Structure 1
Amino acid sequence: MAAGGLALLMIVLFFIFSIIIPFWVYSDAQQNSSYSAVLWALVAFFGGLLGLLLYLLIGRDRTGGRGGNHGGNDGWNDNERSNEPDLRR
């Protein structure tokens, strides 16, 4: 009986984490990734722990926020948002 209870507990935990992990990845990717949060949530859902590991290794921007150097702002055009003159001429 104890083995059956343990197996049931493992199955329940598996399903709980299968739902919690993609939701966490989605909310974290909205804040910390310049890539699509929905795409990363799908990777975590279908990939399980491997999908979570992929997100943690390559999905999060090292700068910690949207607009990382994935085709976005590379820092060279910041003078448009500031009052400082452009001295690169």
Structure 2
Amino acid sequence: MEDTKVVFTDHVHGEVQIFSGDRPAGKMNLAMTGGRLAVFHTEVYPEFKGRGLAKAMLERLVAYAREKKVTIIPLCPFVNGQFHRDPEIYEDVWNKDWHR
């Protein structure tokens, strides 16, 4: 059984962490600034690949952004790809002005 959570190590930096049972299975690196949540990197550890865990972390991240009423800057190639693949799903949390 997988469990995901958003954890901030200080007031700016954090991670979405995913566990399989009690074992860490992957993470997303984040930074929060000015109502924007930048996602830099998504990683699923090798022994857990192919189980949809990156997508599960993305779903948790999007739920967190909606709950906190912040937008997501998709700097991570995985997240950026998912946002472009299904823009209608992420429209309300996708910060498209980040590059300006």
TM-score, with normalisation over the residues of structure 1?
0.28
The structure carrying a bigger strand percent of its residues is 2
The structure carrying a bigger helix percent of its residues is 1
Pick the structure with greater CA Rg: 1
